[in-house]
Amino acid sequence: MRFFKIITARPWLGEETAYSAEFDAALGADGLATLKTKRMGLFIFIGVATALFGLFAVAYYMRMMMGGWHMLMEPLILWPNTLILMVGGGLMQWASWLSKQGNVPRAKQAFFAGGIAGLLFLGGQLLAWQELIELGCYAEVNPANAFFYVITGLHGLHLMGGLFVWGNALFKTMGDASPAAITASIELCDYYWHFMLAVWIAIFALLVVT
Amino acid sequence: MTEDNATDTEAEDHGPTTFLTKYVWSQDHKVIAIQYGLTAIAIGLVALVLSWLMRMQLGFPGALEFVDQEAYYQYATMHGMIMVIYLLTAIFLGGFGNYLIPLMVGARDMVFPYLNMLSYWVYLIAVLVLVSSFFVPGGPTGAGWTLYPPQSILEGTPGYDWGIILMLTSLVIFIIAFTMGGLNYVTTILQARARGMTLMRMPLTVWGIFVATFMGLLAFPVLFVSGVMLLLDRVIGTSFFVPEIISMGEPLAYGGGSPLLFQHLFWFFGHPEVYIVALPAFGIVSDLLSIHARKNIFGYRMMVWALIGIGALSFIVWAHHMYVSGMDPAFGFFFAVTTLIIAVPTAIKVYNWVLTLWRGDIHLTIPMLFSISFVLTFVFGGLTGLFLGNVVVDVPLSDTYFVVAHFHMVMGVAPIMVVFGAIYHWYPKMTGRMLNGPMGQIHFWVTFLGTYAIYFPMHYLGFVGVPRRYYGYEDIEFIPQSVHDLNAAITVAALFVGVVQLLFLYNLVWSLKRGELAGGNPWRATSLEWQTPNTPPVHGNWGKNMPQVHRWAYDFSVPGADKDFMPQNMPRQSFEAADVHKLDPDPPTAGPPSDDPALPPREGEA
Ligand code: HEM
Ligand SMILES: [Cu+2]
């Protein structure tokens, strides 16, 4: 394994290959982080966010076994919402593929549509909240409700962060950004959309199963 | 050669030029580091003053009239939280991490400078929110730094109306700030190292900060989760953590929640947190010992492995803080075992520090004094940790002053010693001037002896069963007179130690203008930050040419070399091991070390 190879090196001998291209990759000629660097930053962030949602799942599970817990009736609208987010992920992937094929104008359209799907999903989640509130399923009457609000709320906030970046990228693609920069932005959003989708499916599965 | 570097000012500085962009909305890691450091010290001073007030009450009960029960709890809570999170975590990672990572790995800056700037400002907001709780009705929370529900959010606890809300909000904001910073530190270390700087050639300082940041990125989400849930319990009345409670004969609206769940979450964060503070200190102290003893660090690889091992293990020991919470004995046994296992890599580090000093050319500079006192103090606190790690020993000692002594030795005094040592060590790089020596000597000796005068007797207090977190002990039968006398003595020592910190602050300001000129590399150190073309380093750190690394950071007193240190960017010499170039596909040729045109220049630097 590479990790073990790295940490068993013997630096005092000076025998290492010290000139690999790995060392030049972080910043581009413009002084800004390259795609490789941004991708790594994004992956680390995804790791942190995974820890966050995973912990909520654990807390959910532990709290479920204690008193005052009533089953939550998931609003039906969550199903179409899931579908919308899936479509969004698909669009993003398509955009990423297109842009790598060199078809940037097409890619921009798909990218735009993918973001809109994200927005629609957020709207749908709000409807789900509204439905629960109208039914009197407040957070304080049932911990299952409270978890629902907190977890979907945090997921929504994360998605909003993604949409912010998406909006920025959209702005950039309308200007005179290079195709490489556009491809890079699209690729990063693509990863993040898939992550958001995966988290949502995991949350939804947890809610439906319990 | 390094001295020459220092006087070479040809390198151009194309950084921002207005005062605002240079010092306020700065994206330069060095400025951000100093902003972080100064903010942390400022809020740390608040915590210091709070500790004086508490000590006055304990040593001379009733001497200060405004310190009543409520105020005492509020001071204790704020003192603990500020010291652990807002001072130590912030200064090690936001302060030293920011300053040292890019310089030590040979980068021009962090890879996401804008995010780095945001990180500081969000941290500042977290601090301000925390401070604002002193001025709201009811004052800051008095729930204890562990914030255990249900008491932390119920009526009867000081600050339950606003204080606790602001505390939790501030923590959540802090975590957002930390995440932004942490992403930067990790990505920079992984991606932006200079040519030739392999991971295993990095100074241990960088390794310590690296592992600690990783731990922080995994542990802080836990605090985030518990903080948000507790906040909801308090604000909208959910029952994540609060069970059914009858208060004044009336049942409260809560029901079914589990306070134990909070304890698990809190300590699952809390124990890694103590190592988030300790690991950067380990790393820094390794470098200081090596530099000031003019010897390579003993067992470099083992030091790295121990850092990683401690980091991993510290996630499976949390329940040793909960032995008295009524846990299953098998559970307790498991955690006692893991807790004792973590002592193994810790002990390896201690041995290696001692062996680094062994037959070294020890210079008792002020950074060295602080480093040695760190090792002493850490061993002391670590040993009492072993006591507490055993369930049977812990049960009677838990919630006594023994615990207070343990964690102040190991997490209060020891890391603070490193903070001081590091400031004396790197101040010349940050400002170009040395800190004043005689003032430093006074600062060191009073702090070192004083902290022992404070915390040593607390072990005894713990043995005779003095409970912690009490406001007063006057009319308690089992408390002997000796305890009261000791408490008075401790208070006097604490005031001395506190006052001498003001001397330190004065020294920081005084030396800025009047300190002895330091030159580029006053300690004759090998790591890259001492090889910058300018001191203090300018925007972009390296001027025209990026450094190229040819060796690890510990080539001190190499036989055959003409100086007792060989900087990391010095090409390999003919007398060095013969096998050196065999595996190197592109052997470096002689010539100025940083003369490598391959790297693209940054931000318009030609
Ligand atoms: C060999 C190493 C260590 C062992 C075996 C150990 C063990 C323990 C145990 C069992 C407790 C709980 C005592 C009780 O509440 O009854 C404790 C408390 C504590 N330890 Fe350690 N410890 C070790 C190292 C450290 C280090 C390195 C730090 C910090 C840098 C640290 C900071 C703390 C703190 C802050 C507390 C008190 C928390 C509180 O209750 O407010 N410990 N330690
Ligand atoms: Cu612990």
* Average pLDDT score, chain B: 89
CA of B84 to the centre of ligand 2 (A): 13
Question: If you ran DSSP here, which 8-state letter would residue B215 be given?
Answer: H
pLDDT at B374: 97
Cβ density class B226-259: b for 16+ within 10 Å, e for less = bbbbbbbbbeebbbbbbbeeeeeeeebebebbbb
Cα(A183)–Cα(B194) distance, rounded to whole angstroms? Answer: 27
**Is the model's pLDDT at B337 over the cut of 50?**
yes
pLDDT at A205: 92
Tens of pLDDT, residue by residue over A90-149, are 999 999 999 988 888 889 899 999 999 999 999 999 999 999 888 888 888 888 888 999
The DSSP annotation for B297-342 comes to PTTHHHHHHHHHHHHHHGGG-GGGG-GGG---HHHHHHHHHHHHHT
> Phi/psi zone of residue B193: left (φ > 0), alpha (ψ -120 to 50 degrees), beta?
beta
A51 in contact with B at a CB cutoff of 8 Å? yes
Give how far Cα B519 sits from Cα of A204, B549, B589, Å.
Answer: 61, 22, 28
- Name every chain B residue with its beta carbon within 8 A of the beta carbon of A14: 550-552, 572, 576-577, 580
Place of tokens 């204790």: B76
Which among A25, A67, A143 has CB closest to B240? A143
Cα(A16)–Cα(A14) distance, rounded to whole angstroms? Answer: 6
**Is the model's pLDDT at B9 over the cut of 50?**
no
**Is the model's pLDDT at B588 over the cut of 60?**
no
- Name every chain B residue with its beta carbon within 8 A of the beta carbon of A150: 228-229, 232
Model-level pTM?
Answer: 0.91
3-state secondary structure B436-485: CHHHHHHHHHHHHHHHHHHHHHHHHHHHCCCECCCCCCCCCCCCCHHHHH
Tens of pLDDT, residue by residue over B294-309, are 999 999 999 999 999 9
Tens of pLDDT, residue by residue over B160-217, are 999 999 999 999 999 999 999 999 999 999 988 888 888 999 999 999 999 999 999 9
Tens of pLDDT, residue by residue over B119-158, are 999 999 999 999 999 999 999 999 999 999 989 999 889 9
Give how far Cα B174 sits from Cα of A32, A55, B164, B181, Å.
Answer: 26, 19, 15, 11
Tens of pLDDT, residue by residue over A171-192, are 877 777 788 888 888 999 999 9
- Name every chain A residue with its beta carbon within 8 A of the beta carbon of B261: 59, 62-63, 66
Inter-chain contact A140–B551, Cβ cutoff 8 Å?
A: no
User: Beta strands of B475-581 (E only): which ranges?
Assistant: none
B114 in contact with A at a CB cutoff of 8 Å? no
CA of B320 to the centre of ligand 2 (A): 6
Q: Which of A80-89, A171-180, B360-369 has the lowest mean pLDDT?
A: A171-180
Handedness of CA B290, B386, B405, B95 (dihedral sign): positive
The one-letter amino acid code at B276 reads I
With contact defined as beta carbons under 8 Å apart, do B258 and B243 qualify? yes
User: Helical H runs in B86-162?
Assistant: 98-105, 113-132
Cα(B498)–Cα(B450) distance, rounded to whole angstroms? Answer: 9
Instruction: Using alpha carbons, select from B378, B461, B465, B388 the residue that is nearest to residue B421.
Output: B378
Cα(B51)–Cα(B34) distance, rounded to whole angstroms? Answer: 25
Pocket of ligand 1, candidates B84, B271, B274, B387: which has the most ligand atoms within 8 Å of its Cβ, to mutate?
A: B274
Percent of chain B with pLDDT over 70: 92
**Is the model's pLDDT at B12 over the cut of 60?**
no
Which helix (H) or strand (E) segment is B247 a member of? strand B246-247
Q: How many CA atoms lie within 13 A of A134 on its CB side?
A: 7
pLDDT class for A14, splitting at 50, 70, 90?
A: low
Which helix (H) or strand (E) segment is B250 a member of? strand B250-251
ipTM of the complex: 0.92
Domain that holds residue A173: 2-209
How much is the CA Rg of chain A, to the nearest whole Å?
21
**Is the model's pLDDT at B603 over the cut of 80?**
no
Angle of helix B259-292 relative to helix B366-389, nearest 10 degrees?
150
Contacts of residue B150, Cβ cutoff 8 Å, sequence gap at least 6? B241, B242, B243, B245, B254, B257, B259
pLDDT at B281: 97
- Name every chain B residue with its beta carbon within 8 A of the beta carbon of A18: 195-196, 198, 549-550, 584, 588
Interface of B with A in 188-207 (CB under 8 A): 188, 190-201
Inter-chain contact B255–A56, Cβ cutoff 8 Å?
A: no
Cα(B217)–Cα(B208) distance, rounded to whole angstroms? Answer: 14
- Name every chain B residue with its beta carbon within 8 A of the beta carbon of A23: 193-197
Which among A10, A24, A48 has CB closest to B599? A24
CA of B152 to the centre of ligand 2 (A): 21
Other Cβ atoms less than 10 A from the Cβ of B349: the count is: 25
**Is the model's pLDDT at B348 over the cut of 90?**
yes
A21 in contact with B at a CB cutoff of 8 Å? no
Place of tokens 């407040």: A138
The one-letter amino acid code at A180 reads A
How many angstroms away from the CA of B200 is the closest CA of chain A?
Answer: 6
How much is the CA Rg of chain B, to the nearest whole Å?
25
The DSSP annotation for B530-545 comes to GG-SSSS--TTSSTTS
Q: Is the peptide bond before B536 cis (omega within 30 degrees of 0)?
A: yes
Give how far Cα B303 sits from Cα of A142, B273, B310, B410, Å.
Answer: 50, 20, 10, 19
Q: Is the peptide bond before B150 cis (omega within 30 degrees of 0)?
A: yes
How many angstroms away from the CA of A83 is the closest CA of chain B?
Answer: 28
Instruction: Using alpha carbons, select from A198, A170, A163 the residue that is nearest to residue A86.
Output: A198
Q: Which atom of ligand 1 is nearest to the CA of B275?
A: 30
Cα(B452)–Cα(B464) distance, rounded to whole angstroms? Answer: 19
pLDDT at B556: 93
Inter-chain contact A9–B198, Cβ cutoff 8 Å?
A: yes
Tokens of B314: 């510290």
**Is the model's pLDDT at A41 over the cut of 90?**
yes
* Average pLDDT score, chain A: 87
Number of domains in chain A: 1
Tens of pLDDT, residue by residue over B274-329, are 999 999 999 999 999 999 999 999 999 999 999 999 999 999 999 999 999 888 88
Place of tokens 């500085």: B13
pLDDT at B253: 82
With contact defined as beta carbons under 8 Å apart, do B317 and B335 qualify? yes
Q: What are phi and psi of B106, to 5 degrees?
A: 80, 40
Give how far Cα A144 sits from Cα of A138, B222, B257, B330, Å.
Answer: 10, 20, 11, 31
Contacts of residue B419, Cβ cutoff 8 Å, sequence gap at least 6? B88, B91, B92, B281
Angle at the Cα of B430 from the Cα atoms of B424 and B433, rounded to 5 degrees:
65
What would you measure as the largest C-alpha separation in chain A, in angstroms? 71
Place of tokens 């430093």: B440
Cα(A43)–Cα(A90) distance, rounded to whole angstroms? Answer: 20
The one-letter amino acid code at B336 reads A
**Is the model's pLDDT at B257 over the cut of 90?**
no
CA of B262 to the centre of ligand 1 (A): 18
pLDDT at A18: 47
Handedness of CA A116, A119, A125, A127 (dihedral sign): negative
Q: Identify the residue among B193, B200, B206 best suited for mutation to test binding to A, counting A beta carbons within 10 A and taking the highest.
A: B200
Beta bridge pairs of residue B556: B565
Which helix (H) or strand (E) segment is B567 a member of? none
Cα(B311)–Cα(B280) distance, rounded to whole angstroms? Answer: 11
Higher pLDDT, residue B586 or B234: B234
Output the domain CATH number for residue A62. 1.20.120.80
CA of B221 to the centre of ligand 2 (A): 18
